[in-house]
Amino acid sequence: MSTNNIIRISITLIIIAIVLGAFSSHYFNKVLLEKQISSINIGIRYQLFHSLSLIVICLNKKKFNKHLNKSLYLMLLGTIFFCFSIYLLNFNSYVEIPLFVLGPITPIGGVLLIFSWIVLLFSIKKLN
């Protein structure tokens, strides 16, 4: 996948996060508990942060070595797993996906995000 495609996907994730943030502020309090809204807001925050990070990293790809793509894929997949599983877990009464399916996806997404940053750390080119 090209960095341009990762940027496009990241922008789409930002749009989704903004829409969810608007719903969180103005509508979710009518259908969800405060604890659920707080959890969704954590997902929104992580989604925005990591989507923006992906864009910044892609725009600076010349500063990284061949392992950059691994970091980008891990971060993208981790963001989707972590954030969207949080959303689905909090809307479980409406979506009806079994918890045993969704439950493990959130920590897997979190681990992928951690590994993405570790791989990125070792992807920085050495200065001459």
If you compute the radius of gyration of the chain from its CA atoms, what whole number of angstroms results? 16
Across the range 13-39, mean pLDDT stands at 92
pLDDT single digits (tens) 32-61: 889 999 999 999 999 999 999 999 999 999
The burial of 80, by beta-carbon neighbours within 10 Å (0-12 exposed, 13-18 middle, 19 or more buried), is given as middle
pTM above 0.95, yes or no: no
pLDDT at 127 over 70: no
Give the range among 6-10, 14-18, 63-67 with minimum mean pLDDT.
63-67
Mean confidence (pLDDT) of the chain:
92
Across the range 70-74, mean pLDDT stands at 97
pLDDT at 97: 75
**φ, ψ dihedrals at 127, nearest 5°:** -75, 145
The DSSP secondary structure of 6-55, one letter per residue, reads HHHHHHHHHHHHHHHHHHHHHTHHHHS-HHHHHHHHHHHHHHHHHHHHHH
